[in-house]
Amino acid sequence: MSGLEKFIKTIFFWEILKGMKLTFKTMFDKPVTRLYPKEKPVVPPVSRGLHALRRHPNGKEMCIACGLCAAYCPTRCINIRTSENPDHSKAIDVYEIEILKCLFCGYCVEACPVRALTMTQEYELASYTRESLLYTKAMLLANGDRYVGKETHFD
Amino acid sequence: MDRILLKNVDVPNIHDIDVYMAHGGYISLDKAFAMDPKDVLEEVKRSGLRGRGGAWFPAGMKWQFCVEVPKFPKYLIANADEGEPGTFKDRPFLETDPHQLIEGMIVSAYAIGASGGYIYLRGEYPDGYRTLNTAIKQAYDRNLLGKNIKGTDFSFDLTVHRGAGAYICGEASALIESLEGKRGQFRVRPPYMATHGAFAMPTVVNNVETLVNVSHIINHGADWWGSIGTKESPGPKVFGISGHLNRPGLYEEAMGVTLRELIYERGGGIRGGKKLKGVIPGGVSTSMLTPDFLDMKMDVKSLQDAGSAIGSGALMVMDEDTCIVHIVWRAMAFFQHESCGRCTPCREGTDWMLQILARMENGGGRMEDLDILADVCHTIHHNCFCPLGEGAVMPVLSSLKYFRHEYEEHIKAGKCPKGLRARVRH
Amino acid sequence: MKTINVVINGIPVQLERPMNIVEAAKRVGIHVPHFCYHKELTIYAGCRICMVEVKGKPRPVAGCSTIMSDGMEVFTESEKVIAARKGVLELQLLHHPLDCPVCDKGGECALQDYAFKYGAAQTRFIENKRLIPVNYNNPLLERNMERCVSCKRCVRICAEIQGDWVLSDMNRGSRVTMESFCGDESECVHCGHCLSNCPVGAIQSRLYKHVGRPWYVDTEAETICPYCADGCTMTLQTREDKVLRVVSDETYSKGANRGSLCVRGRFGYDFPNSNERLTTPLVKKDGYFVESNWDEAVAHVAKRLSEIKSAAGPDAIGAVIGGRNTNEEAYLLQKFMRTAVGTNNIDNMARMGHINALNALEAAFGVAGSTNQIKDIAQAKAVLLIGNDAATENPITGLAIKKAVLKGGAKLIVADAGRNMMTKHSSQRLTYRAGSEGELVMGLINAVFATNMHDADLEAKNTSVFDKVRAKAGKYTPAYVSEKTGIPAEDIKRAATVFANAKPATIVFGKGITATADGFGKSLALADLAFITGNVGKPGGGINPMASKAGEQGACDVGALPDRLPGYRKVSSAEDRKRLGGLWKSELPENPGMTVGEMVEAAGAGKLQAMYVVGANLAYELPDTKNTVEYLKKLKFLVVHDIFMSETAQLADVVFPAATFAEKSGTFTNSERRVQRIAPAMKLQGGARPDGEIIAAVSAKMGRPMDWEPAVVMEKISVSTPIYAGITYDTLAGGGVQWPYYEEMKSGTAVLHAEGVTGRADNTDAGVGEGAALAGKVFPFVADITVSLYHSGTTTRRTRGPNMVVGKALAGMNPSDASGLGIADGDTVVVRSSTGELRLPASIDKAVPSGVVHIPAHFADVCAGTITGLVLDPAGKTPVARYWPVAVTKA
């Protein structure tokens, strides 16, 4: 490198300009960050969000309460209590997921033999109380109803 | 040949003891009682008499096992439960000429040392039940049965027991279970019937025709009797020939008669001059054969070599218009109905095969069904508990071997080429 | 016999006896899949899944029905075998519904496991599956025949072990189903053997239906059934501190019961979950219970007891412990009474009968306990079952008797005054008049001597005892006995011949002997009968008294008796008092105390002022309910520990909520002297505490602190109670120990007196009394008051299972009696006696002898004590209330 070239580069802060090149370039790009609470991200369809219990088209719950999700759950956060209906079918008395314990590993969904349990794109789960993070059957069914047709995750 | 076993069937009132005795009946008793039981047994052994029920086990050897067990009383049971489709060879001895059976049983019981006897009669033979009971009563009246027969030390009681319509009770151990009042099912062996048979006592179960032969062996000697038929399966045999023949019926022949003789000479050829398609040589539980085997001798060894069995000698003849799939379906319907339900392969396998065959016959067959049939047959044949299952696969296996093209025609056409349909049980 | 050398999967195995391939493979840890094979049942060889390859055989053979012979080489996992299993499984699964997710067997199902291991993922079966409606004929069992693999284990166990032949295989071929013949479940005793033995989900408990899954189980505890005194080992499974279900040992080898259970054990498990459980200590103020706390209630009890003690003396206080309590609790209570209170007024509910048998056996042979063990009975060649319906009162003993009959060909003689469900297995049934039990036993002894069938060798050694017995039996000639008992003389002679000629022969007896007048003398006569026929000290022989509740034998053993210290040492013996007093650092009272009956009478007379009742429901279990309640009300102070608000607790001044067997540890001693541990399966419910802890707290408040932790108490028992010497929780691990325990052999004693017996240890003698006919002109019937198979008291009334089968009391009557009175099945009848009357529906039952009304003892609405009176037998002070004269009329 000649002395002149070195001199010019020095007085014009060439190295800095070189470094700033990326900065200037990205000034005109679309930003990758988002103003999260105001701007909601588009969640990919296979993301693992809040669980949901699905219904049959006739409105009946799909879950047969086999307990395989609870058996497979690595953190044992699923609690199911069942009893017998007068017509000898299986009644679900309690179906709870303790979201605070949940890892969102998706094993429960994988275990479900009737695809009644699925995961949705619902990810905003923060809450002020522990109690509200114990998702009951009604809450999970309601979540399922919100996502009718969108639970493409494992289907 | 001259008839030996069926010699008297056309004599009027041969079921009456006087008529029977006038025709030389019960003389073997005097001969036998003059001998030591051991010698009677030896004579039977020497004759080479083999069980006529289908397994062709040497009768003398079976008796020997029983005699060697030092337990009393011993029982002798005549297996008159011929339930296999196509078999009717014992009927003359049950319905027309009962004394011949009773005489044979007395001699056999003498040889074994049995004091109790049963005739396990097929429930569907009501005439036989009446005839046998009358004959037994007459024999009791003449002191041919009961205590101290003919003044000797030998006593023998005989009872007729009617079955309730189960094919499996034609198998010796299931027969004994049924006789004891239990559910007719195959027994786990060992212990064998020779040591723990009826009521846990040594028991011999023989086919009716086997026992009938015994009195002739004693009457005329083992050498004479053994000279009839072939060397390894000697003696006269009653063949029941049925199917598409001009003259179906019972024919007594020496062992070793050819299939052609039976069909074209005795049976009078195929009805309507049609061509022969196949034969089932020994009841539906034996493999069917093609016309290529027409010159085969009807004896144990020849049929074994041909991949079939002589069974009970119930020959069924099928002409060219027969639908093999329909025949196999019909046979399977029988086995499915008669499967006792004890072992899994037979219970479920026969049911599955029946449904597949019915579907095929009604036009819903698929090529993979043939593999399934072969697989199921293999499973049943290798794993089932008793001979019923082993017999049940024979019609399927043999038809797949010789008549596979018929199955394929059914599948390709989507219906039975002969226009037949299978009834489906719902 | 020469050993058999075989090779299984390349591993050489030595077998000392011929066995089948499945068992031989188990020896080297190889599991051969099977459905229909069970080692306790006959070989069926139907499932064909146990196929194995034997070298040299062209086809696979069934592992269950093939006996191994020398030099055999077997492959259980070869390619050929796997293919065969796959084929069989495919067929097995053809019609099997795919409802594993909702099948309660899912997760512990043999078919599931094998299908996972060998089966194809997809079926080739495209036809319609077989549809069979689910069978709900049985109140406790559901039979789903679509799931059935036709292994017939249910049918075989029902016939071969339970001996009831309820189930049979109907139809044949692919239509075969396992059901009761023509839907008739009337013979079913709901033992649940079929349920525990089903390898798949075809037979399911209706109590457990859709309630749990195997992986929901939090804790699993091997424990002892708290109901009868057979002491059955069973496993409690709990989830979130609720009992989920009871499972039994599937291998049928563990414990005194060898895996078998009866309806109470298997289905009567949910009382610990009951919401009727007491949760806090209750103190009565102005006639009403007020919730209190532990400290206050304990202090209150201690204060009141101390007051009464100082005012009226220690003997004004009495204590009773019930049959549900453990040995440790009984020990603590008697120690509390003898040290803190200072009285011998301590008794337990064995006083209702069993104590007579223990006293008689002690008098006869020196040891107060059954001479043999329950499973020994199966080896007997003759069994005399007298005054005990083993099929309902002690069902597992009943199974041992049935095994003797069904497998061993033993002759069973059933002697009873009332209904006896063992009759169908008997070779002879002797129906005597109620009250004449003694005459019958003496008649048998007389007949044995008359025909010289007694043990002559034994007589030579024990001439004096034999002479005494012979002299005593002298007047009981067959003719005389026949007149008294109503049994034909020939039958008595025949029974004596059968019993005396069978070697070994055993005697099983129960409350029909012990809870009658002269129960002690009658028990002694039975001991004599066993002795003179030479059956004592022999396996399969001996004499087995049947206690009715789990804790009875143990409470007696550890000294909860008014005249005995721990180990049956006499209170009157100064030496024993001194030894124990030294251990307990206390002066022990020397006067024998009062028994239960005496305490109640003394309460009525005002002599007894306070009572401390632990787990006993006196106002219900004692005869003459009306007066008993009156007397108990007269007490100045009554303390009751109970798990429910029982009839007695309602009368109490202070009620402590106690823990059930599922929440505490301890030991029970069963009828055969076997000390067995119970283990807690769940946390204490509500505010309940173990009885031992409560007693210790009260004792501490009264100035005598005690250790109450069961393991520590057991160590103290082993020191203070000679017969329990050496028994600690460590030695009890693995199935319990039959006392006496021998340290050097590390085992208990299965058969007592095996080294020989000399007969009458002390010179006690008692007659059998005069069996006067109970029934008279005014009261022409005899009420036979017994426990039912389904109920045994306070606890079973709060369980779902038994109540689903038998929910109410029925008066069993003979058809001829009923028709004579114009009573039809289901009509309400009035059973009236001198003390009261009962109204309950009649049940026409051929099994009830003529002249007898069968009254079940344990129902809430119909209290059998209403019609009986409190009469104490002079010898044992036992209430005589098994049979009572009554009149029956149509309501």
Q: What is the pLDDT of residues B20-39, one digit of tens each?
A: 999 999 999 999 999 999 99
- Report chain B residues whose CB lies below 8 A from the CB of C91: 344-345, 347-349, 352, 376, 379
Put simply, whether the predicted model's pTM sits higher than 0.90 gets the answer yes
Read off the pLDDT of each residue in C516-532 and give the average, rounded to a whole number: 93
What is the predicted pLDDT for the residue at C695? 97
Read off the pLDDT of each residue in A109-116 and give the average, rounded to a whole number: 91
Task: Label residue B21 exposed, middle or buried (CB < 10 Å: 0-12, 13-18, 19+).
Answer: middle
Q: Which residue has the tokens 């029988």?
A: B334
Encode pLDDT of C340-385 as tens digits. Answer: 999 999 999 999 999 999 999 999 888 999 999 998 999 999 999 9
Sequence-distant (6+) residues with CB within 8 A of C730 are none
Q: Are the C-beta atoms of C395 and C193 separated by less than 8 Å?
A: no
Q: Nearest by CB to C215, which of A65, A67, A83?
A: A67
Domain extent listing, chain B: 17-226, 236-319, 324-413
Residue C208 has pLDDT above 70, yes or no: yes
Residue C524 has pLDDT above 70, yes or no: yes
Looking at the complex, does the CB of residue B399 fall below 8 Å from at least one CB of chain C? no
Residue B8 has pLDDT above 70, yes or no: yes
Q: Measuring CA to CA, which residue among B112, B138, B158 is closest to residue B17?
A: B138
Reduced to 3 states, what is the DSSP secondary structure of residue C727? coil
Q: Which residue has the tokens 């909601």?
A: A40
Which of A62-71, B45-54, C785-794 has the least mean pLDDT?
Answer: C785-794
Looking at the complex, does the CB of residue A8 fall below 8 Å from at least one CB of chain C? no
Q: Measuring CA to CA, which residue among B374, B371, B382 is closest to residue B343?
A: B382
The DSSP result for C70-90, as a single string, is: TT-EEESSSHHHHHHHHHHHH
Interface test with A, best of C108, C208, C216, C218 (most A CBs within 10 A): C216
* At least 3 CB pairs under 8 A between chains B and C: yes
Interface touch C213/A71, C-beta < 8 Å: yes
What is the predicted pLDDT for the residue at B46? 94
| β-pair type (C51-54, C73-75) | antiparallel
Q: Which residue has the tokens 């023949």?
A: B245
The CA-atom distances, in angstroms, between C700 and each of C302, C307, C694 are 9, 16, 10
Please tell me the distance in Å from C168's CA to the nearest CA on chain B: 10
Q: Measuring CA to CA, which residue among C123, C18, C34, C134 is closest to residue C76?
A: C34
**What domains are there in chain C, each with its CATH number?**
4-92 (3.10.20.740), 284-353+551-722 (3.40.50.740), 372-541 (3.40.228.10), 781-890 (2.40.40.20)
Residue A30 has pLDDT above 90, yes or no: no
The DSSP result for C814-877, as a single string, is: -HHHHHHTT--TT-EEEEE-SS-EEEEEEEE-TTSPTTEEEEES--SSS-GGGG----B-TTT-
Read off the pLDDT of each residue in C29-50 and give the average, rounded to a whole number: 94
Residue B426 has pLDDT above 60, yes or no: no
Computed over every residue of chain C, the mean pLDDT equals: 92
Sequence-distant (6+) residues with CB within 8 A of C745 are none
Sequence-distant (6+) residues with CB within 8 A of C142 are A88, C134, C135, C136, C203, C204, C205, C206, C209
Residue C702 has pLDDT above 60, yes or no: yes
Domain B17-226, what architecture? Answer: 3-Layer(aba) Sandwich (3.40)
Residue B289: pLDDT band by 50, 70, 90 thresholds? Answer: very high
For residue B76, the cross-strand partners are B117, B204
What is the predicted pLDDT for the residue at A154? 52
Q: Which residue is closest to A64 within chain C, CA to CA?
A: C102
Q: Which residue is closest to C151 within chain B, CA to CA?
A: B342
Q: Which residue has the tokens 């139907």?
A: C46
Q: Which residue is closest to A71 within chain C, CA to CA?
A: C215
Q: Are the C-beta atoms of C387 and C509 separated by less than 8 Å?
A: yes
The CA-atom distances, in angstroms, between C227 and each of B71, B381, C184, C788 are 48, 52, 28, 12
Residue B98: pLDDT band by 50, 70, 90 thresholds? Answer: very high
**Within 10 A of C568 (CB to CB), how many other CB atoms are there?**
23
Q: What is the signed CA dihedral for B345, B350, B353, B354, rounded to 10 degrees?
A: -160
What is the predicted pLDDT for the residue at C720? 93
Task: Report the C-alpha gap between C319 and C305 in whole angstroms.
Answer: 12
Domain extent listing, chain A: 1-32, 51-146
C199: cis peptide before it, omega within 30°? Answer: no
Encode pLDDT of C279-295 as tens digits. Answer: 999 999 999 999 999 99
Q: Are the C-beta atoms of C875 and C768 separated by less than 8 Å?
A: no
Q: Nearest by CB to C88, which of B345, B350, B352?
A: B345
Interface touch C101/A66, C-beta < 8 Å: yes
C657: cis peptide before it, omega within 30°? Answer: no
Give strand ranges (E) for C9-84: 11-15, 51-54, 61-62, 73-75
Percent of chain C predicted with pLDDT > 70? 99
Please tell me the distance in Å from C211's CA to the nearest CA on chain A: 5
Residue B329: pLDDT band by 50, 70, 90 thresholds? Answer: very high
C-alpha angle C824/C830/C833, rounded to 5°? 135
Looking at the complex, does the CB of residue B43 fall below 8 Å from at least one CB of chain C? no
Encode pLDDT of A35-90 as tens digits. Answer: 888 988 888 878 888 999 999 999 999 999 999 999 999 999 999 999 999 999 99
Q: Measuring CA to CA, which residue among C467, C466, C470, C488 is closest to residue C479?
A: C488
Residue C756: pLDDT band by 50, 70, 90 thresholds? Answer: confident
Task: Label residue B372 exposed, middle or buried (CB < 10 Å: 0-12, 13-18, 19+).
Answer: middle
Read off the pLDDT of each residue in C532-558 and give the average, rounded to a whole number: 94
Give strand ranges (E) for C417-453: 428-431
Encode pLDDT of B161-170 as tens digits. Answer: 999 989 999 9
Interface test with C, best of B346, B348, B373 (most C CBs within 10 A): B348
What is the predicted pLDDT for the residue at A155? 46
The CA-atom distances, in angstroms, between A34 and each of A22, A40, C278 are 20, 8, 60
Residue A1 has pLDDT above 90, yes or no: no
Task: Report the C-alpha gap between C100 and A66 in whole angstroms.
Answer: 8
CATH node for B324-413: 1.20.1440.230
Encode pLDDT of C300-321 as tens digits. Answer: 999 999 999 999 999 999 999 9
Which of C299-313, C585-599, C738-752 has the least mean pLDDT?
Answer: C738-752
Sequence-distant (6+) residues with CB within 8 A of C112 are C100, C105, C106
CATH node for B236-319: 3.10.20.600
Sequence-distant (6+) residues with CB within 8 A of C711 are C665, C728, C729
Q: Out of 3.30.70.3270, 3.50.50.60, 3.30.2350.10, 3.40.190.10, which CATH number does the structure's domain A51-146 have?
A: 3.30.70.3270
Q: Are the C-beta atoms of B286 and B311 separated by less than 8 Å?
A: yes
Contacting chains of C (3 CB pairs or more, <8 Å) are A, B
Tell me which of C734 and C51 has the higher pLDDT. C51
Q: Are the C-beta atoms of B245 and B228 separated by less than 8 Å?
A: no
Encode pLDDT of C428-467 as tens digits. Answer: 999 999 999 999 999 999 999 999 999 999 889 888 888 8
Encode pLDDT of C402-432 as tens digits. Answer: 999 999 999 999 999 999 999 999 999 999 9
For residue C223, the cross-strand partners are C234
Encode pLDDT of B365-416 as tens digits. Answer: 999 999 999 999 999 999 999 999 999 999 999 999 999 999 999 999 999 9
Size of interface B-C (CB pairs under 8 A): 99
Residue A152 has pLDDT above 70, yes or no: no
What is the predicted pLDDT for the residue at C50? 94
Task: Report the C-alpha gap between C608 and A141 in whole angstroms.
Answer: 65
Dihedrals phi, psi of B142, to nearest 5 degrees: -90, 10
- Report chain B residues whose CB lies below 8 A from the CB of C155: none
Q: Which residue is closest to A89 within chain C, CA to CA?
A: C210
For residue C842, the cross-strand partners are C811
